[in-house]
Structure 1
Amino acid sequence: MTETPAPDSIEAAKTRRRWISIGETVGILALIISGISLWDAHKERTESRVEAAKVKPVPIAPLVLTAIADAAGETLKIASPNPDRVIQTQTIVFPTALDVSSVDTTGNPRIEAGWFASGLRSAVGDNRKKARLPIGIITHYTDGGTDRDDTALYEIGHSWRARLLQHDVPVLEGITLVQRNPKDLQSSLDARWTKAHPPA
């Protein structure tokens, strides 16, 4: 014979089922809220990355070289005033009129008067006076650990030293920047030389 549950037992069972349903609903709501929070966080990170990508890169400051002459004016020691920029190699290019080959340096950036003295003396003839010689300098350097290259046109300030039993020699004084990144370095050098030394 089947026993009929007491009214109290039936009511208690209904109450338990209600609590289970409420608990399940709360759990589902918590899961939904967590999902929304996760999505918001992901969206915010994505938007932050997009905004960061839109930020324009900081332009690289141009390389400007300085030079110090030795006591005799025979050599110019080239350097960058920025200690984070370390010169690795350089190619020094001369005007065609001097009939002098370009010179490569590694680890010891410099310009020596002996590289072009004969060519300059022949090019100017007897018109030896205080002047500026256009040169091209192609520099490979590191900038805070990043490799970079620079091409520029400079001028060497120089005078002449007369010698009794030998040829006169140029005395180097320093360099000054004339032009950055010329389209054709050799052509720019030759044009500047011709302007300062027009054909007779």
Structure 2
Amino acid sequence: MSESADQARTRRRWISLAEFVAVAGLIIAALGFWNSWSERRDAQADRAQAAQDAAKKSRYVLKGEVASDKSVKLTRDENHPLSEARVSFPKALGVGPQDALADSINADWFAKPLLKLTDGGPDDRTGRLPVLITYTYNDADGEHRASGIYDVIWQTRPGTLPLQGRRLTIANFRLRHAGGSQAELDRLWTRP
């Protein structure tokens, strides 16, 4: 049984049509796969951005400024109210941790040991005291705990009366970096 030229041409046309349908199906499948992959990638990027925005919104870095009474007033943020703030000093200074529940850091906490360490030197001095502040704050997501190492810039000045001696005041307050530990604080401390 041999086929005629017309039959052979018809058979080849059907093969070509079948090949065309197969290639078209392959292209449609590839486009569907690419579209699905693209949507997944975009959804992952959106989720990552939303998580980053939420973390940024809930993150709070404690700040403070020197008040007129020469203490450091911790700034308040209505979105992140403080429920606890604990100030730790280098162990070599001999000052125990202090609670800053009144939202302030007072020079009285460390003035006596620092004046003792700087005794015998010039009356006008400026130095840096690293402190570790561990604080707890709240936001819409609940309670969070954070810490940071801060520099308390101090100054000593002679007293106004001859027998009054020297006095220590706080001149500035700066964040050195977020995070930290007591061991790192002790490494950062250098005697004045």
TM range (shorter): 0.5 to 0.7
Unaligned stretches of 5+ residues in structure 1: 1-47
Alpha-carbon distance between aligned partners in 1 of 2:157 and 2:60, rounded to the nearest angstrom: 32
Within the alignment, does 1:150 sit opposite 2:146 as a pair?
yes
- Residue 133 of structure 1 corresponds to 129
**Which whole-Å deviations, capped at 9, do the CAs of 1:23-82 have from their partners, x for residues lacking one?**
xxxxxxxxxxxxxxxxxxxxxxxxx9xx68x82312523432222323231x211114x4
| Alignment correspondent of 2:47 | 55
Q: Report the counterpart of residue 78 of structure 1 in structure 2.
A: 74
2:164 corresponds, among 163, 166, 175, to 166
Pick the aligned partner of 1:64 from 61, 66, 82: 61
Q: Report the alpha carbon displacement of residue 145 of structure 1 after superposing the two structures with TM.
A: 5.7
When the two structures are superposed, what TM-score results if normalisation uses the length of structure 1?
A: 0.62
SS of aligned partner of 2:183:
helix
Match of 1:110 in 2: 104
Distance 2:158 2:69 in 1: 13
Letter paired with 1:169: R
SS at match of 1:119: helix
Whole-angstrom CA distance in 2 between matches of 1:191 and 1:178: 14
Contact 2:73 2:104 in 1 (8 A): yes
Q: How many matched pairs? A: 143
* Contact 1:68/1:173 (<8 A) preserved: no
Normalised by the length of structure 2, the TM-score is 0.64
Structure 2 residue corresponding to 1:180, chosen from 175, 178, 181: 178
Bigger CA radius of gyration: 1
Q: Which residue of the partner structure matches residue 123 of structure 1?
A: 117
**What's the % identity of the aligned pairs?**
23
Q: Does 2:188 match 1:192? A: yes
Map 1:3-42 → 2, pairs under 5 A: none
Whole-angstrom distance in 2 between the partners of 1:144 and 1:169: 44
Contact 1:67 1:174 in 2 (8 A): no
DSSP 3-state at the match of 1:71: coil
SS in 1 for 2:164: coil
Listed as ranges, the gaps of 5+ residues in structure 2 are: 1-39
Report Cα offsets for 1:5-38 as digits up to 9, x if no partner: xxxxxxxxxxxxxxxxxxxxxxxxxxxxxxxxxx
- In structure 2, give the amino acid aligned to 1:153: I
